Amino acid sequence: MSYVSELAGKKCLVIGAGVTGQAVDKALKKFGAISYLFDEKTNLESKVINQIPKEIDFAVVSPGWRADHPVILNLKNLGIEIIGEVDFAWKIKEVIAPSQKWVALTGTNGKTTTIKMVESIFKSAKINGAACGNVGQTVIESVMQEPALDYLALELSSFQIHWSDLPKYESVALLNIAEDHIDWHGNFDNYAQAKLKLLKQAKKSFVNKSDKVLSNKVQGGSVIWFSLDTPQPGELGVVENLLIDRAFSPSPSEANEISELVDITPTVPHNIMNALAASALALSLGVKHASIKDGLKNFSTDHHRMQLVLSKDEINWVDDSKATNPHAAIASLLSYFNVIWIAGGLAKGASMGELASRAGSRIKSVILIGQDREIIAQAFAKHSPTTQLVRVDQSSDAKQLMKDVVAQAKKTAKSGDTVLLAPACASMDQFDSYVERGQLFAQAVKELV
């Protein structure tokens, strides 16, 4: 009997009634399982339960749930099998689309941009594939798609990797590792290990040689490195204005041009890294260099990722609301000079010391908002004490807060400055999401500037 046919009549608890949980619930029901959607938030629709029913056969957990959550521990004590959504999707794929190939990508920053680049390359190469996981569709929805996709490019968070052991990827890429989600993982090493776990599940692994944490924690062997340096044989890198592949060339002395730097927008260092990682994943699937070049050329970044909102009176107003941790904010800050930086929100346990010491010299003033703004203030007091700090309090709603912030920035900004929203923090203390935060910033700029 196949895994799919065994599901008929089985009682399954789906933990988490968000987007992932609802997609799993739908798939289980399609295969005849009895599915219970469980969530602690009782204000969800009536089909969601908040008590564990008796006689559950197995559970599928949504990625954000911690392994030490009382509900998870309770199920473990009862001896109930618990799997993550990615593993559930893999088991289904093995039955309904056995020839489908998966590649995967993780990192603290740049994941969505890079996996969307892979999807753009698929389009240019006329490949029947899609990006999924932590972006767009869930993995289970992509597996269930009819007709079946030939390739899936998975963007995976540390939570998803933590809950996953089964997939065998054609290749995986690791972009970078920096402090994030320390509150969830307990400490930085646990977080790093969750990311590195992905390397054990792949035929080929591509790793960013320029990232200090990765170059220290990943020992050579079968790893293929990529960086902004001239590539050694077996690596991918940059020579003058070209992205170069020496990993998939027929002989060690040969090199192939992937694309020109001008094909990549924005042409900033961390985005070149994203393009190298996307190219490596595509090359591992046999995509030709010309299709990769076209895919990179046709790609444009997501909204709220280093998006120029307005350029007026030689002042640039830039929305990088998606920079929700210090590592992402550093990459953004180092792309500009004379920055009026809008920062703050929920720090998620990350420290701001490295940001203040590395980017402090670029910043004219910091406009601080949100719950953990004093963590940023303390880091600047220590590492960049001459930087001006201005605190803006929330007087009414989020819209008014962002208007007050933009009004403050307008007072300070002079010709040649960049006003940059790259908060280094999550948004949920004052906004619905980083998307709303970015939209309200853009709105306020258009109204007031």
Give the integer Cα–Cα distance in Å for 418 and 278.
29
Tell me the two tokens of residue 250: 């027929």
Is 267 assigned to a binding site? no
Average pLDDT of the residues in 332-361? 91
Long-range contacts formed by 326-329: CB under 8 A, 24+ apart? 326/178, 326/179, 326/350, 326/351, 326/352, 326/354, 326/355, 326/424, 327/108, 327/109, 327/176, 327/178, 327/179, 327/180, 328/108, 328/109, 328/110, 328/422, 328/424, 329/355, 329/359, 329/422, 329/423, 329/424
For 53-103, how does the pLDDT look when each residue is reduced to its tens digit (9 = 90+)?
Answer: 888 999 999 988 988 899 999 999 999 999 999 999 999 999 999 999 999
Give the integer Cα–Cα distance in Å for 105 and 175.
8
Average pLDDT of the residues in 355-384? 94
What pLDDT score was predicted for residue 221? 67
Give the integer Cα–Cα distance in Å for 171 and 180.
24
Give the integer Cα–Cα distance in Å for 321 and 437.
7
For 5-51, how does the pLDDT look when each residue is reduced to its tens digit (9 = 90+)?
Answer: 999 999 999 999 888 999 999 999 999 999 999 988 755 555 788 78
Q: CB neighbours of 376 closer than 8 A, spacing ≥ 6?
A: 343, 344, 347, 352, 355, 356, 366, 368, 424
For 196-220, how does the pLDDT look when each residue is reduced to its tens digit (9 = 90+)?
Answer: 889 999 999 999 998 888 888 887 6
Confidence bin at 182 (pLDDT 50/70/90): low
Give the CATH class of 3-85: alpha beta
Please check the confidence at residue 181 and state whether its pLDDT lies above 70: no
* CATH topology (fold) of 97-297: UDP-N-acetylmuramoyl-L-alanine:D-glutamate ligase (3.40.1190)
Please check the confidence at residue 391 and state whether its pLDDT lies above 80: yes
Q: Pick 141 or 47 by higher pLDDT.
A: 141
Is 108 assigned to a binding site? yes
Chain region(s) in the chain for CATH 3.40.50.720: 3-85
* Contact of 96 with 260, CB cutoff 8 Å: no
Average pLDDT of the residues in 191-197? 82
Average pLDDT of the residues in 255-272? 91
What pLDDT score was predicted for residue 194? 79
Find tokens 């046709």 and name the residue. Answer: 298
Is 84 assigned to a binding site? no
Residues pairing with 319 in the sheet = 307, 421
What pLDDT score was predicted for residue 54? 86
Please check the confidence at residue 296 and state whether its pLDDT lies above 60: yes
Q: Write out the chain in H/E/C secondary structure.
A: CCHHHHCCCCEEEEECCCHHHHHHHHHHHHCCCEEEEECCCCCCCCCEECCCCCCCCEEEECCCCCCCCHHHHHHHHCCCEEEEHHHHHHHHHHHHCCCCEEEEEECCCCHHHHHHHHHHHHHHCCCCEEEEECCCECHHHHHHCCCCCCEEEEECCHHHHHCCCCCCEEEEEECCCCCCCHHHHCCHHHHHHHHHHHHHHEEEEEEECCCHHHHHHCCCCCEEEECCCCCCCCCEEEECCEEEECCCCCCCCCCEEEEEHHHCCCCCHHHHHHHHHHHHHHHHCCCCHHHHHHHHHCCCCCCCCCEEEEEECCEEEEECCCCCCHHHHHHHHCCCCCEEEEECCECCCCCCHHHHHHHHHHEEEEEECCCCHHHHHHHHHHHCCCCEEEECCCCCCHHHHHHHHHHHHHHHCCCCCEEEECCCCECCCCCCCHHHHHHHHHHHHHHHC
Q: Average model confidence (pLDDT) for the chain?
A: 91
Chain region(s) in the chain for CATH 3.40.1190.10: 97-297
Is 107 assigned to a binding site? yes
What pLDDT score was predicted for residue 336? 86
Tell which CATH architecture fits domain 307-448. Answer: Alpha-Beta Complex (3.90)
Please check the confidence at residue 383 and state whether its pLDDT lies above 90: yes
What pLDDT score was predicted for residue 178? 74
Instruction: Compute the residue count for the chain.
Output: 449
Is 110 assigned to a binding site? yes
Peptide bond into 266 cis (omega under 30): yes
Tell me the two tokens of residue 156: 């995976």
Give the integer Cα–Cα distance in Å for 159 and 191.
9
Average pLDDT of the residues in 128-156? 93
For 392-445, how does the pLDDT look when each residue is reduced to its tens digit (9 = 90+)?
Answer: 999 999 999 999 999 999 999 999 999 999 999 999 999 999 999 999 999 999
Which is nearest to 302 in space by CA: 153, 114, 122? 114
Chain region(s) in the chain for CATH 3.90.190.20: 307-448
